[in-house]
Amino acid sequence: MSLKKIQSCLISVFHKDRLEPIIALLKAQGVVIYSTGGTQNFIEEQGAKVVPVEELTSYPSIFGGRVKTLHPKVFGGILYRRDLEGDNAQAKAFEIPSIDLVIVDLYPFEETVASGANEQDIIEKIDIGGISLIRAAAKNYKDVLIVSNRAQYGALESLLKEKGGSSNLEDRRRFAAEAFDESSHYDAAIFNYFNQSEGIEKFKVSERVGQTLRYGENPHQAGQFFGPLDALFDQLNGKALSYNNLVDVDAAVCLIEEFAEAEAAFAILKHTNACGVATGASVREAYLRAFEADTVSAFGGVLICNQKIDLAAAEVMHSLFFEILIAPEFEADALALLKGKKNRILLVKKESLKTTKQYKSLLNGVIVQDRDLLTDEAENFKLVTEKGITSEDKQALVFASKVCKHTKSNTIVLAKNGQLLASGVGQTSRVDALNQAITKAKSFGFDLNGAVMASDAFFPFPDCVEIAHGEGIRAVIQPGGSIKDELSIKYCDEHNMSMVFTGTRHFKH
């Protein structure tokens, strides 16, 4: 493709860092530089000559800097089409110089919002001139090269060196595409800020960091992930995370964040459901108790802990084949041992999830909801039976409810002493879920006498509490809300069982 020589440049940036090598190259290549304000001062400090924008437009920067570059002589110089005779004639008639390169970045709107600044400061960080320059230069990419983010300075520097201060159409189109990404992301952030209070029913999400996955849920499906995953995890070992890995990791992280770090908690998941969850006096003990719940399903699972993985824990889990282990930290000797399996993925979880919304494609659109961030706590329990609950029961019920909340509906969770005994997962009937849990618990040798039962939704009939009583389960936690609640309550009263209502349903589909 034919090259276009860069003979003039407009530079107007908020962030000045990393700009020095660019200025040096432009100076060496004899490029005319237009600029204004703080950017002009910075460029002149680098020893380069600058034509002030005010000199070009015959207008000063006005309204406290709100209007600097918004002028026909600036935008005309960017937008006029060099291959059209009429445009060239008008540019000459109005003494509009061509501008071949635009380097601009935007006021840090998102950073200002994140800082907790007041609304006036936030509004002042809505860029007008910069966003307009970006769109104008990107629109006229056939003639103009647009650099819209300091992250592109390295690519611009290489281009200026390798092509002697020129660019081709392919270069300009690529930079234009990135510029429209910059402007659309910026506008989405501004809209979402305003829409926090306005509640306009529009859906705008912009994730600018992405990666192509090996495939999607199955090998014949393409897959990608968008989001700053590196902000959440450091990967210390293993192959790249797959689509299914990421889905399971999300489920694991959401579950483990229910447990405070004061006590070791460990979970083992398969296909987003926990097959083992336990607390313990040490990470080793918590792992062994979680593994004990289902020694079969743990094979190939995703493991997660809320405390540092030490050597004692690593030694007992190393023999298990598992896909992923997530923890806030790994002791050096534990890490060395666990790295013995080259494909084993080891992730350091650096921070808690901050997202408050969930969304996914559905039918011909997108469905959005708040994340279920409500955890059932003992102080909010409503005792509905004659028999009370002990402090031990309270702890067991809270534990069971946490696991239940993160298990696919319909679900029943059986637990005792900070250990998942079994769960019935994703059943079409709550009775089927309970029977599945009972069968599984017994198959791994658990005694259900004295255990507790959690349900993600109410019991429409007393059949579940009847079955539970027959297995020795002594306490039940459920949301309540059925028109036939009294039937389950009456059965519990007649058979010396305790039951509490939470008032909160935790369906998970």
> Does residue 273 contact residue 407 with C-beta atoms inside 8 Å?
yes
pLDDT tens across 428-440, in order? 999 999 999 999 9
> Does residue 312 contact residue 290 with C-beta atoms inside 8 Å?
no
Instruction: Write the CA distances from 322 to 9, 237, 301, 312, integer angstroms.
Output: 56, 13, 5, 17
Mean pLDDT of 210-220: 94
Question: Which candidate, 408, 477, 401, 395, places its Cα nearest to that of 269?
Answer: 408
Q: Decide: helix, strand or coil at residue 270.
A: strand
pLDDT tens across 129-162, in order? 999 999 999 999 999 999 999 999 999 999 999 9
pLDDT tens across 183-200, in order? 999 999 999 999 999 989
Supply φ then ψ for residue 286, to 5 degrees.
-60, -40
What is the rounded distance in angstroms from the CA atom of residue 6 to the CA atom of residue 380?
Answer: 69
pLDDT tens across 484-503, in order? 999 999 999 999 999 999 99
Residue 3 is predicted with a pLDDT of 87
With a cut of 90, say whether residue 71 has pLDDT above it: no
Strand partners, 367: 360
Residue 47 is predicted with a pLDDT of 92
With a cut of 80, say whether residue 68 has pLDDT above it: no
Judge residue 55's burial from the number of C-beta atoms within 10 Å of its C-beta, 0-12 exposed, 13-18 middle, 19 or more buried: exposed
| pLDDT interval class at 325 (50, 70, 90) | very high
Residue 118 is predicted with a pLDDT of 95
Strand partners, 358: 369
Enter the pTM of the model: 0.88
With a cut of 60, say whether residue 80 has pLDDT above it: yes
Mean pLDDT of 85-101: 93
Arithmetic mean of pLDDT over the chain: 94
Q: Which residues are catalytically annotated? A: 139, 271
With a cut of 60, say whether residue 1 has pLDDT above it: no
Question: Which candidate, 494, 471, 499, places its Cα nearest to that of 414?
Answer: 471
Residue 240 is predicted with a pLDDT of 93
Question: Which candidate, 239, 211, 230, places its Cα nearest to that of 351?
Answer: 230
Q: What percent of the chain lies above the pLDDT cut of 70?
A: 100
| pLDDT interval class at 70 (50, 70, 90) | confident
